[in-house]
Chain A
């Protein structure tokens, strides 16, 4: 491994960087983050029962709601407990995912 050198410009990341992990790579992918919502809100946010549908909502709406639940300014039964488990960067990625799909 010692002589195995990859030009940083080509790979952007080194083995060491990968194993220690830059902050950004620690985050789950948008898909993995959004998948955790589907069990309640339905696949891709399309609810089939009494849960609110969040498919087709604007990126800004989802981000604003999640931050509101997290701060407690939005009233909720369960979303406060869920939203507190996500960082602001994760919330941004989730909102982007729903807006795109």
Chain B
């Protein structure tokens, strides 16, 4: 049982001994009067939660959050904007509540995190010193993996996998598409942000077509064998959108090799597919700042101590959310936020010279198959033998073959979840 490995112990605190309430005598780096300083990089699901919960655990710690945007547009529920169920306002959050709590919010892009000097460098100039840094920069796209596309073609072929202008662009393209047109979507290989996200997007575009453009078709080119909540999605599609969705997986010509944005054509091993609207979601890696600051390994994701989320490569810097290797947890907003809370407690304890506690996490991904048809997958996680583990017997999918009442309830709870979590983070 190495809840607390000797390695972390020595590195973080010096090899002294814990007293009664797991305090480490003589090692508290911040005596009365000296304020511990935490810098949080990124104000999304992970970062904003970490900033808020460090303050909740200990208001005396000085917390600075660095985030380029004054408003954060969430990916969760962005598929409802693409499907025309909500406007962008519904998914737009801001930092007013965090500021009120005493978090200092700096709107800038971090250019570099220097673990040795314990400071972050800002793009517009200047540095901010930290005792501990929490990094939650989300994802970056591996454009080099797909011939014909790069960041500049996203204005023609959107990914809409970071919410904001991309979400609105895809919505506009679908609105302009003629009845009887073809929408092509190509999800990425694993691991990627929000495994059930493509299934939900396909569903809500189908829901829009059914209402506004019933002769239209959806073609899915998926390089994987199967996808998250596949059984539940396919059950819903057969009920709600029979004949509209044509799904190709890896065994059925689903791998896209090249894309031609001029002709809106996707080339696979055996054929080519032309769409009126094309949504190509590139393969992914940790956010760029994690790469340039030495936080990633050869998987292009960030290895961490799964108890404290402290980087295994740069001591004093913690990585949470999509960028971190927190498997078996998926890359979701719920996961990023639950990780942030565990990390916040660990950061506060380490700054106070105390032992970090035992982690516990929950994740649930709700998806809408239609406005009144929700499904979910859940899991509870613990920590054992130095690793995050799934708690046996917990979690799982919504039951298959459930009635309309069950799916109506889960659709309502999906909205309830979104409103609660965004209020928990930014409210």
Q: Which residues of A contact B (CB under 8 A)?
A: 1, 4, 6, 10-15, 18-21, 25-29, 31-33, 35-43, 47-51, 77-78, 81-82, 84-86, 90
A19 closest partner in B (C-beta) = B4
Interchain CA distance A41-B15 in the complex, whole Å: 40
How many A-B pairs have beta carbons closer than 8 Å: the answer is 150
* Docked-complex contact A85 and B410, CB < 8 angstroms: no
* Docked-complex contact B412 and A50, CB < 8 angstroms: yes
Contact of A11 among B20, B395, B406, B423 (CB under 8 A): B20
Give the interface centre of A20, A21, A32 by most chain B CB atoms within 10 Å.
Answer: A32
* Docked-complex contact B394 and A81, CB < 8 angstroms: yes
Interchain CA distance A13-B18 in the complex, whole Å: 8
* Docked-complex contact A77 and B357, CB < 8 angstroms: no
Q: Which residues of B contact A (CB under 8 A)?
A: 1-4, 6, 9, 15, 17-20, 22, 53, 57, 334, 337-338, 341-342, 345, 355, 357-362, 364, 376, 378-382, 391, 393-396, 398, 406, 409-410, 412-413, 415-421, 423-424, 427
Give the interface centre of B358, B378, B409, B420 by most chain A CB atoms within 10 Å.
Answer: B420
Q: Is the interface of B mostly helix, strand, loop or mixed?
A: mixed
* Docked-complex contact B361 and A39, CB < 8 angstroms: no
Tell whether A43 pairs with B410 under 8 Å between CB atoms, given A33-B360, A35-B53, A82-B394. Answer: no
* Docked-complex contact A11 and B18, CB < 8 angstroms: yes
A42 closest partner in B (C-beta) = B420
Complex contacts, B395 vs chain A, CB 8 Å: 81-82, 84-85
Complex contacts, B341 vs chain A, CB 8 Å: 32, 35-36
A45 to chain B, nearest CB (A): 10
Interchain CA distance A97-B396 in the complex, whole Å: 26
* Docked-complex contact A39 and B394, CB < 8 angstroms: no
A42 to chain B, nearest CB (A): 4
Complex contacts, A39 vs chain B, CB 8 Å: 334, 337-338, 362, 364, 417, 420-421, 424
* Docked-complex contact A78 and B364, CB < 8 angstroms: yes
Q: A21-B4, A26-B1, A36-B362 are in contact. List 11 more A-B contacts (CB 8 A).
A: A11-B19, A18-B17, A32-B357, A32-B358, A32-B360, A35-B341, A40-B420, A41-B420, A42-B423, A51-B417, A85-B395
B211 to chain A, nearest CB (A): 23
B15 to chain A, nearest CB (A): 7
* Docked-complex contact B394 and A49, CB < 8 angstroms: no
Ordered nearest first, which 10 A-B pairs have the shortest CB separation?
Answer: A85-B380, A85-B394, A49-B419, A50-B416, A51-B416, A49-B416, A28-B360, A36-B362, A85-B391, A84-B394
